[in-house]
Amino acid sequence: MKKTKLIAVISIVLLLFLSACNSSNGNTQIQLAEVTRSVFYAPQYVAIEEGFFEEEGLDVELQTTWGGDTTMTSLLSDGSDIALVGSETSIYVYAQDSKDYAVNFAQLTATDGTFLVAKEPDPEFTWDDLRGSEFLGQRTGGMPQMVGEFVLKNHDIDPHADLNLSQNIDFANIPGAFASGDYEYVQLFEPTASVFEEEGNGHIVASFGEESGQVPYTSYMAKESYMDGNEETLSKFTSAIYKAQQWVQENSAEDIAESIQPYFEDTEVDMLATAIERYKNQGSFSTDPTLDEEEWENLKAIMEEAGELPADVGYEDLVNTEIAEEVITN
């Protein structure tokens, strides 16, 4: 009897374990954390809405974790299996001698995704107009702020000496603070930048993505331990993302906007299309999931210029291209 009961208990535990790993339809379940909700990540929403994850036998549960620190904390504490977040966060974790660090395995965006928004219309804008201005900045050490500083310095502007720079607002509250405060300039992602223009709360005057060049701005990463035990799942995930990247390249901004509109219920489809067209025109959406070494070196140069590079971490240490390369080949 005791042996029978033991077998029964083991069977129940095994069933519970399997149900945690697989959804009711037999698909593999993935907990995915995204650093923010933005049109910048259009291919990801396309992968969900157009059924590319489902085609690969995956059920993806998406959560928005609002900020690089909280997103990486979710990943490292097993609150999520995969994180979509700036690649700089993987360098920060690795430099802390983490035993189970995060590895970049698929790239989603290839430029900065922010736009310089002015409170007042300025059709004749030049970067020198920023000197002495009230500028609402981003979090120290985050990609938006580092890219912003990189671009400003390329225009001979010291962000800490030539601007009245404020960095005391949480990422999620920056748009509201700009709209209600006395700030003259801010960096905003889409569709917020276009919404501000439509509502008269701001005016896009420049693109940081166009100014900063190619960089692995946001990538999918997983802990090394997860990658070691879930290669097939990560391959299927990357395949779905690649299908979505190709779909975005082949379809119009209007079609993409229609596909991803459920993720932006408060934004009209035509405004989403405008934002998508901006990103497509400046090459923000990666055409495939491979993160190449030149982009990695550009990332480190931006971090070093900002004084935020904790260690010269090699490309081969934190980037795994084998999965993406196999997916593209097949």
Residue 5 has pLDDT above 50, yes or no: no
* Within a domain: 8: no
If pLDDT is split at 50, 70 and 90, which confidence band does 24 have? low
Give the pLDDT band (50/70/90) at residue 34.
very high
Residue 20 lies in a domain: no
Pick from 193, 212, 231: which residue ends a domain?
212
Question: Which H, E and C letters describe 57-121, residue by residue?
Answer: CEEEEEEECCCHHHHHHHHHCCCCCEEEECCHHHHHHHHCCCCCCEEEEEEEECCCCEEEEECCC
Q: How confident is the model at residue 251 (pLDDT cuts 50, 70, 90)?
A: very high
Which residue reads 């090394």 in tokens?
Answer: 224
Same domain for 136 and 87: no
Domain match, 103 and 232 both: yes
Instruction: Say if 16 falls within a structural domain.
Output: no
pLDDT in tens, 47-57: 999 999 999 99
Distance, CA of 77 to CA of 74 (rounded, Å) = 5
Tens of pLDDT, residue by residue over 136-156, are 999 999 999 999 999 999 999
8-22, 153-167, 184-198: which range is least confident on average?
A: 8-22
Q: For 157-166, give one letter per residue: b (16+ CB within 10 A) or e.
A: bebeebbebb
CATH code (residue 47) = 3.40.190.10
pLDDT on residue 7: 45
Q: Does residue 285 sit in the same domain as residue 182? A: no
Asked whether residue 232 falls in the same domain as residue 319, the answer is yes
- Same domain for 93 and 159, yes or no, is no
State whether 228 and 107 are in the same domain.
Answer: yes
Burial class of residue 192 (count of CB atoms within 10 Å of its CB; 0-12, 13-18, 19+): buried
**Any domain includes 235:** yes
Tell me the pLDDT tens digit for each residue of 90-119. 999 999 999 999 999 999 999 999 999 999
Residue 14 lies in a domain: no
Whether 291 and 190 map to the same domain: the answer is no
- What is the phi-psi region of residue 17: left when phi exceeds 0, alpha when psi lies from -120 to 50, beta otherwise? alpha
Are 175 and 33 in the same domain?
no
